[in-house]
Amino acid sequence: MILIISTCSETLHELEFVKPIEDIIGKEFKTVNYKDLTQKHIDSAEKIIICGTSLKDNTFLKELGKFSWIKEYSKPLLGICAGMQIIGLVFGGKIKKKKEIGLIVSNFDKTFLGLDGVKQVYALHNNFIDFSKIPEFEVFAKSLSCDQAVKHRAKKIYGVLFHPEVRNKEFIKKFCLL
């Protein structure tokens, strides 16, 4: 079972940031808001996806303790936008301001779950984390402004700042096959 964790503080936003991921997965999954997340949810999941949220919804930043389990998690984990920021913060990164909205070009230095070379990706964020300053992570793709795709060097922990549920849906399918 794939666990989808919503970072949305409003249920309506889940239609934009969570529902498309549920539709792409198309197999057994469970969706839980991070505020309701339990250790039982985490333990029963084969993989976890932490979804993004709206530009003005940063409530999750005040509750990072709810994500402390990430450092010890040993199964595949994907953080999308806010999810990538959460992963970076848990590993000691710092939030930086940079707004990117719409289609942007991202350069993948190496193949990253099926994506490589120069790709158009859909961005919708106000913040980012400089993962080059977090030694546990390798940066796989950048836009002109910030890191767009990262992977933990020893674990199957992935992060993307862009929204593959909007464009590059095959990326989510590849993650589900890990």
Q: What percent of the chain has pLDDT over 90?
A: 86
How many separate domains does the chain show?
A: 1
Secondary structure of 32-99 as H, E, C letters: EEHHHCCHHHHHHCCEEEECCCCCCCCHHHHHHHHHHHHHHCCCCEEEECHHHHHHHHHCCCCEEEEE
Residue 114: which pLDDT band, with cuts at 50, 70 and 90?
A: confident
Cβ neighbors of 99 (< 8 A, separation 6 or more) are 55, 125, 126
- According to DSSP, the residues that pair with 78 across neighbouring strands are 49, 158
The yes-or-no verdict on residue 109 having pLDDT over 90 is no
Instruction: Give the span between the Cα atoms of 6 and 30, in whole angstroms.
Output: 11
DSSP state of 23: H
pLDDT single digits (tens) 122-159:
999 999 999 999 999 999 999 988 999 999 999 999 99
Q: What is the pLDDT of residue 33?
A: 98
User: What is the Cα–Cα distance from 90 to 124, expressed in whole angstroms?
Assistant: 21
Render pLDDT for 28-63 as a digit per residue (tens, 0 to 9): 999 999 999 999 999 999 999 999 999 889 999 999
Residues with a catalytic annotation lie at 81, 163, 165
Q: Which domain holds residue 80?
A: 2-176
Q: Residue 60's pLDDT is what?
A: 93
Provide the pLDDT for residue 26. Answer: 84
State pTM to two decimals. Answer: 0.95
Query: What is residue 25's three-state secondary structure?
Result: helix
**So what's the pLDDT on residue 38?**
97
Find the CATH number of the domain harbouring 41. Answer: 3.40.50.880
| pLDDT at position 110 | 86
Share of the chain above pLDDT 70, in %: 100
